[in-house]
Structure 1
C-alpha cells in the first residue's frame, strides 16, 4: 500500500512532536527527581541479623540511600535532616505515611565542605560547614527548592583536620559549636584559642564564648535530662599504641573547664610530647574512660516511654570504630550507666555486630543517635548509608 506525500508528512510531524514531548517529559521528571525521590529500601544489602541487641529490642531500616549519613536533626513537621562529611551533601527524609520508614528524600544542599553538623530550631535548619554557619528559614515548606540560606558567621577556623562539626541547641537556647584540634597532637591554642574547645552563641551568632577547653575532637554532646549539665565524647590522640590512650566521656559542670588535651589523656596519662608542661591534676578527669581508639561520636540520654525504665537517665554512645589499631574495636552502641550524682557506674555494649571480629570487616559504622517522640532510637551509619530505628517490644 502506497502512502501519499501529505499522509507521510503528517505522520512524520506527529512522530517528531511525540519525540519532543517525550524528551521534555523526561527532562521535567529528571529535574523533579533531583529534588525529591522515593527512598529505596535495601534491607537485604545490610545483614542486620548479625547485630546483637538486648532481649526485647528490634532494629530495622528507617531510611536507605543517604550517602555518608552522619548528624541528624528532626524538624517540627517530622522531616529528618541528615548532614554528611564525604560527599558534601545535606539530605532531608520524611516518613509521609506513618509506618516509621522514610519514603521521601530530598537533597537540600550540595557541594559543601564537610557539612556534618545540623540543628533545628523555630522552623529553621542550622547547617555547620567547617568555618561557617548557615540558616535555612522555613525549610520544611521549601524542601523542593530551598531559598538562599542566611549566613550566621564565616569566621571560624578553616582547618579541615577535625574541622567537621557537630552542633546542637542547649537547654539555654544557645547553639553549641565545637572546634577540633587541627592536628593529632599539638598546642593549637597558640594559633587560635578556639581550637580544641566547645563554644556557644546566640542563634544569630552573637555573644560567642568558650564553654570548655582541652577538647581534642568532640563530634557528639548532649545535656543530662535532670541536671542539664553538658556531657560530651572526645576522641583520644593517635600514635601512642593499640591500647593508649582511652577515648573519653566528659561532663561540664562549670564554664571554661579544661579537660586535658594536649597535656593529659584519660585523666591520668601524661602526653609524651606535652605532658611535662602541666600535670594531670590541673584538669577535669573523664566521667568514663572509653575504649582506646573507638572513636566515640554521639551521646544521648533516653527520656522516652518506649525503652524499659532501667535505661532512663543513662548515656547511649555511638562508637564509630577504630582505624588505627592492629585489631579493630568499636563499631557499636555502648551504654554508660550513671548514678544519681551523674557519675559513671558501668560501661557495656547495647548493640554490636557491625564489625566481623574474624575478618575485621565492618558493614556499618554508627555515627549519630536521635530519640523519636514515640521513644524509639534512630542511628545513622555513614558506611551502610542508612538510618536504623531501634524499638522495644517487650
Structure 2
C-alpha cells in the first residue's frame, strides 16, 4: 500500500540513519547485557526475579490458557514459545517457533491459534500448542496493511468484542497522509475481514488494553521528536467513542500545537480528544495494563502500569522504567515511577521494558528487549 505524504524529515535515508542511531545509542540488540536485579528500585514488599534470560529481543507477550508464553520480537524477526513445564513460575525452555519475519512485534492468542503481526501482514498459526517443535505454515489472514517500516511494527490484541485490534503508526516523525489508514487503530474479524478504523490521530501506539469494568480502550502513544527535550509529552489515552481523533499531527498532549501542522489543526472542524494522562516527554511508553490480580495490595487494584522503553534522542535520558498511573473514580489522579534502575546515573542503560503481562497468581511479567530478559514482579508483605 503506497501513499502520498506531506512530510518533514521522513525520507527513507533519514529513517534508516535514525534507526541505526537508536540501535547504537540504546543498545536495542540484546545478548551483550547481563541483568543486574539489585540495581532495581521499587516499593517496599515488591521483588523482581528472572522468569527467563534466554529470549533475545523480547517484546510483546501473550499467554495461552494452558500457560504457554508466546513472545514477539522486532529486530530479531523471531517468535518464541517460553515454557514453564514444572509450574514454578520460572521458564524451563525457550523454543523458536518462527523466524525470518518482518518485525513480528505483536502476538495474540485465541481459540488455540497464535496470531502474529508483521509490518503489512497478520499471520495465524493454527493449533500451535500441539506443534511447538514443528509449527505449521502460517495462514495469512490479511496482507492489506501498509508496507512502510517507519512505525510499522505492531502491537495486537483481541478486544472484548472478539475482534483483533491492529494499530497503524504514522510513516514518519511528523506528516500528513492522503491515506486515512495511517496514524490509526483498526480492528478486524479473526479471519482478517471487516477492517474498520476505531481511533484516529494516533502517532504510534505499541500497547493498549481495556478497562476491566467499563470496557473502554486505553492506549499509550509516542509523540513526535525534534521539538526539544521537554516537548511534547507522551500520552496515555482513553477511547470512549469509535472514531475519536487524538490530535496527531496537529495537536500533541493537551495544548502543544505542532509548529508545522498546528495552524491547520486549529482551523479544522474536529474535536480533538486530549490525553487521559500526560506522560513524560520522550519516555516512549509501550506496554500498558490494568492490574486485576490478588497478589498486590488492594491499592493497586484496577490501577494502570506502563512500561516505558526510554528516550533515544533526548540530551538527558528519561524513561527506562515501569510507571504507575493511579485512578480515582476511573480518572487518573497521579503518574509516578514504580520500578527504576535500568537507567544508571551515569547514563548507561542495561534494560528497556517493553510489555507487561499478568499471571494467574497475580504476579506480573515484564519483557526487556535490551537484555533479552523476561522478569517476574511479585509482592510479599513479609519481605
Give a deviation string over 1:204-229, Cα, whole Å, max 9, x none.
11111000000000000000010110
Runs ≥4 in structure 1, deviation > 6 angstroms? none
Instruction: Give the match for residue 350 of structure 2.
Output: 363
What is the aligned counterpart of 2:241 among 244, 254, 259? 254
Q: CA deviation at 1:172?
A: 0.8
Instruction: Name the counterpart of 1:146.
Output: 135
Give the deviation of 1:288 after TM superposition.
Answer: 0.5
| CA–CA separation in structure 1 for the residues paired with 2:113 and 2:164 | 13
Distance across 2 between alignment mates of 1:239 and 1:282: 26
Q: CA RMSD in A?
A: 1.2
Query: Does residue 291 of structure 2 align to residue 334 of structure 1?
Result: no
> 2:155 aligns to what?
166
- Partner of residue 244, structure 1: 231
Q: Which has the higher contact order (CA 8 A, sep 6+)?
A: 2
- Post-superposition offset of 1:55: 0.5
1:118 shift after superposition: 0.1
Cα deviation, residue 62, structure 1: 0.2
Which residue of structure 2 aligns with residue 378 of structure 1? 365
Q: Secondary structure at the match of 1:204?
A: coil
Secondary structure of the 2:263 match is coil
Structure 1 equivalent of residue 199 of structure 2? 212
Cα distance, 1:52 vs structure 2: 0.4
SS for the counterpart of 2:218 is: strand
Residue 121 of structure 2 is aligned to residue 132 of structure 1: yes
1:106 lines up with 2:95 in the alignment: yes
Deviation per residue, 1:337-371 (Å, 9 max, x gap): 1121x3210000110110002x2011100000000
- Counterpart contact for 2:365–2:374, Cα < 8 Å: yes
Contact between 1:68 and 1:87, CA under 8 Å: does it hold in 2? yes
Write the distance in 2 (CA, Å) between the matches of 1:261 and 1:364. Answer: 29
TM-superposed deviation, 1:314:
1.0
Larger Rg: 1
1:188-203 alignment runs, 5 A limit: 188=177, 190=178, 192-203=179-190
Counterpart CA distance in 1 for 2:340 and 2:67 is 28
- State the Cα distance separating 1:155 from its structure 2 match: 1.1
Give the alignment of 1:224-373 within 5 angstroms.
224-279=211-266, 282-340=271-329, 342-357=330-345, 359-373=346-360
* Partner secondary structure for residue 277 of structure 1: helix
Q: Note the C-alpha offset of 1:75.
A: 1.2
Give secondary structure in 2 for the equivalent of 1:276.
helix
Q: Partners in 2 of 1:347 and 1:106 — Cα distance?
A: 37
Unaligned ranges ≥5, structure 2 = 1-30
The structural deviation recorded for 1:388 is: 0.2
Counterparts of residues 13-32 of structure 1 (less than 5 Å): none
Q: Shift in Å at residue 257 of structure 1?
A: 0.1
CA contact (8 A) 2:34 2:350 kept: no
TM-fit CA distance, 1:64: 1.1
Q: Distance in 1 between matches of 2:342 and 2:69?
A: 23
Partner deviation per Cα, 1:140-188 (whole Å, 9 max, x = no partner): 1100000111110001000000000000001111100000000000012
CA contact (8 A) 1:267 1:283 kept: no
Whole-angstrom CA distance in 2 between matches of 1:207 and 1:338: 34
Offset of residue 282 of structure 1: 2.7
Cα offsets for 1:322-351 (capped at 9, x unmatched): 0111000000000001121x3210000110
- Tell me which residue corresponds to 2:71: 82
Is contact 2:83-2:92 (8 Å) kept?
yes
Alignment-derived partner of residue 4 in structure 1: none
Aligned to 1:39: none
Q: Distance in 2 between matches of 1:198 and 1:107?
A: 29
